[in-house]
Chain A
Amino acid sequence: MNEPLTNAYYELLEEIQAVDFVLCELTLYLDTHPWDNEAVQQFNHHAHQSRQLKKQYEKQYGPLFQYGMSYSGYPWNWKEAPWPWQV
């Protein structure tokens, strides 16, 4: 049996989802409004925040990306469950 995930896991995941959602919205917006300086600033601010949160997440729960976008633990822990649809 695998260990059940804690509330802390779901909270951190949702925090990342929220910040990344703002980035997603701003990405589409900036694709049609490339001259909106304020939106670019907000985008860069959230991109930084997202990186910080993911660093914290990956330390506790393993890599979010592969192909070298995330560092690996030892042994190779990318392939560990749970996968996003399982949690």
Chain B
Amino acid sequence: MFSQRKFYTPYTSPTDPCPPIEVKSYETPPQLYLGFQPPCLPQYASAKEALHRGTLWPALYSPYESPYKRGDTGE
């Protein structure tokens, strides 16, 4: 499944002082994959929705939430 977020598990040492974050993540938003935008991509139904999404095209929409509030599990 395509995901805009990738996960990795850094090495943790028994001597690390902070409680380890076992799964870390980084963002891989759609502009990394779209290539030269093809014409006639589907658009959001209304101008207001486009405004609030920050883009006219769902293919370029990249949702973001703080990983510390999402409670990542790495799936």
Q: Which A residues touch B50, using CB under 8 A?
A: 18, 21-22, 25
For window 28-87 of chain A, which residues contact chain B by CB distance below 8 Å? Answer: 29, 32-33, 36, 38-39, 46
Contact bitstring A7-34, B, C-beta under 8 A = 1, else 0: 0000000110111011001100100110
Chain B residue contacts of A25, Cβ below 8 A: 50, 55-57
Q: Whose C-beta in chain A lies nearest to the C-beta of B55?
A: A25
Tell me whether A33 and B51 are in contact in the complex, defined as CB-CB below 8 angstroms, given that A25-B56, A26-B56 are known contacts.
no
> How many chain B residues have a CB neighbour from A under 8 Å?
12
Residues of B within 8 A of A19 (CB): 47
**Most chain A beta carbons < 10 A, residue from B36, B40, B50, B55:** B50
A17 to chain B, nearest CB (A): 6
> Most chain-A CB neighbours within 10 Å: which of B48, B50, B56?
B56
List 10 contacting pairs A-B, 8 Å CB cutoff, sorted by A.
A17-B51, A21-B47, A21-B50, A21-B51, A21-B56, A22-B50, A26-B56, A29-B37, A29-B56, A32-B37
